[in-house]
Amino acid sequence: MSTENTSSPSDKGPTGFITDGQNTLVVEDGHIYKDGQAVGFLFEDGYIKNNNQPLGKQNKLSLIENISPWQFRGIDCQGLEIVLPDEHPGPSGKLEYNAKIYNVINGRVVTEDHKYVGQITDSGEIFVRDKNGEGGKVKVEGTTLLNFTFEGISSTGANCQHQFRRPLYKIDRTYIDNEIIRYFDGFDALNNLQKKYVLETMALWSSCGLLQIVRKSEGDASLGNVKHGVTGVTRVRTGKVSLDKEEFEREVNYYKQHGAMMIVPKNIVDYLEVRLNLVLAHEFGHQVDFVLTSAVQEQVAELYEKKRKSCDKLHPLPDENESPSELLMRQQIEKRHFISGYAKSSAYEYWAESLAAFSIKTTRDHLREFDPVMYDILTNLVLAPTKVLSRVFHENITSLQASLKLGGEFLTGGL
Ligand SMILES: [Zn+2]
């Protein structure tokens, strides 16, 4: 698993200029130069390691605030603007954000290893440094905030405490699990194997914030008495996902025995079908369809048409046999068109099956191999959602992803 850093690595400092009222010092990747001579190192969190004049010879850390009237202006290695000290200083103390501990120095939210990741104001507003935000920062508020506690003193020296708790949030569970539990109505009534299945197959979508966005826009999921296929075939917007209880139980058992994908015989002799055991992610995929831009929807429809035509030509079935799925002889499996047989049945099922496959590392690797264009669209959905989601969701997903990065929940499984 990897997390995308919200800030630059600590061994590379910012680039810009320090002014002390009279002189200008050049700063390059943290190294401070005066008259061409290296005189110290500036970390992006405002600490300066001095190794020469004018700071004294000892190799200790000083805060830029304490070297008055020094001021730094420049950018970090991601190109985000940095002004040190900040023009509007905030409080100092400790911030616990989604159980991650940060130091706060005059409003700067920083890590032990000198990364400058965000800001907090005296009144408790939280910003994350993020290239997707206006002016290089994103405000985190309302539904995009994770649980946090701040304790310290304000910029004016008064006691300063702030706390936020997400409503309906189980404190002993991560954000990722909490969101999945909110999404799956009736989660608590599932058996352990079913719970594990739900949490495992939906973790990626929860960790990148998309599950929360889609739940609020389209609805949640629950078990019922509906046969699969009702939601997707015609692209009728149904809101909630209703999973057939028996089918769900069968899928969970398949998943346990065979993993996310299996190859099953069909009633035509010698023919096989590739099958995904990811029904919940599949149905979620149908919901996601409705939050995409029409450009992406059209791109998916075109991809599908191309594949279907090629499939009919290269992998025809024996005479008088028909199937909406891609059925293959054993030796054709490795040259198949669709990630699963069912993906051939319509452009909507193609999208839902591809998204389902993307949910789990093993099948995601297959998708990259069989359908690299679709793989790229789905990668954008996680890592650059504003490229594929309708405009109306951009502000929310940007803020939520910034918050999830600050809270250490944005796990992309090595994407
Ligand atoms: Zn479907």
Over the stretch 47-103, which tens digit does the pLDDT of each residue have?
998 765 555 555 678 999 998 789 999 999 889 999 999 989 999 999 999 999 999
294: pLDDT confidence band, cut at 50, 70 and 90?
Answer: very high
16: pLDDT confidence band, cut at 50, 70 and 90?
Answer: very high
Give distance in angstroms: CA of 226 to centre of ligand 1: 12
Per-residue pLDDT, 227: 57
Per-residue pLDDT, 77: 86
Q: Which residue has the tokens 């943290």?
A: 30
Give distance in angstroms: CA of 349 to centre of ligand 1: 5
Give distance in angstroms: CA of 235 to centre of ligand 1: 10
Give distance in angstroms: CA of 284 to centre of ligand 1: 9
Give distance in angstroms: CA of 394 to centre of ligand 1: 26
Per-residue pLDDT, 21: 82
Overall average pLDDT of the 150-176 stretch: 95
Cis ω on the peptide bond leading into residue 85 (within 30° of 0)? yes
Give distance in angstroms: CA of 221 to centre of ligand 1: 14
Count of other CB atoms within 10 angstroms of residue 391: 8
Give distance in angstroms: CA of 175 to centre of ligand 1: 27
Give distance in angstroms: CA of 343 to centre of ligand 1: 9
**Distance from C-alpha of 378 to C-alpha of 399, rounded to nearest angstrom:** 20
Better pLDDT: 328 or 94: 94
Per-residue pLDDT, 226: 65
Give distance in angstroms: CA of 234 to centre of ligand 1: 10
360: pLDDT confidence band, cut at 50, 70 and 90?
Answer: very high
| Least confident piece of the model among 191-205, 305-319, 371-385 | 305-319
Give distance in angstroms: CA of 193 to centre of ligand 1: 23
Give distance in angstroms: CA of 252 to centre of ligand 1: 17
Give distance in angstroms: CA of 283 to centre of ligand 1: 6
Instruction: Indicate if the pLDDT at residue 369 is higher than 90.
Output: yes
> Cα dist. 349→100, 110, 144, 196, 273 in Å?
40, 45, 31, 25, 15
Instruction: Indicate if the pLDDT at residue 223 is higher than 70.
Output: yes
Give distance in angstroms: CA of 290 to centre of ligand 1: 14
CB contact set of 128 (below 8 Å; sequence gap of 6+): 6, 117, 118, 137, 138, 140, 402, 403, 405, 406
Give distance in angstroms: CA of 351 to centre of ligand 1: 9
Count of other CB atoms within 10 angstroms of residue 264: 11
Give distance in angstroms: CA of 179 to centre of ligand 1: 22
Per-residue pLDDT, 7: 41
Overall average pLDDT of the 342-366 stretch: 96
Give distance in angstroms: CA of 270 to centre of ligand 1: 26
Q: Which letter, b or e, does each residue of 135-170 get, where b requires 16 or more Cβ atoms within 10 Å of its Cβ? A: ebbbbbeeebbbbbebebebbeeeebebebebeeee
Give distance in angstroms: CA of 72 to centre of ligand 1: 55
**Distance from C-alpha of 145 to C-alpha of 165, rounded to nearest angstrom:** 9
Q: Quick check: 409 and 176 in contact, CB under 8 A?
A: yes
Overall average pLDDT of the 385-404 stretch: 97
Give distance in angstroms: CA of 346 to centre of ligand 1: 9
Give distance in angstroms: CA of 350 to centre of ligand 1: 8
Better pLDDT: 230 or 100: 100
Give distance in angstroms: CA of 275 to centre of ligand 1: 13
Per-residue pLDDT, 184: 96
238: pLDDT confidence band, cut at 50, 70 and 90?
Answer: low
pTM of the model as a whole: 0.90
Give distance in angstroms: CA of 304 to centre of ligand 1: 15
Per-residue pLDDT, 22: 86
Largest CA distance in the chain: 89
Better pLDDT: 16 or 36: 16
User: Over the chain, what is the mean pLDDT?
Assistant: 90
Give distance in angstroms: CA of 345 to centre of ligand 1: 9
pLDDT tens readout for residues 176-203: 999 999 999 999 999 999 999 999 999 9
Give distance in angstroms: CA of 329 to centre of ligand 1: 24
**Distance from C-alpha of 10 to C-alpha of 77, rounded to nearest angstrom:** 10
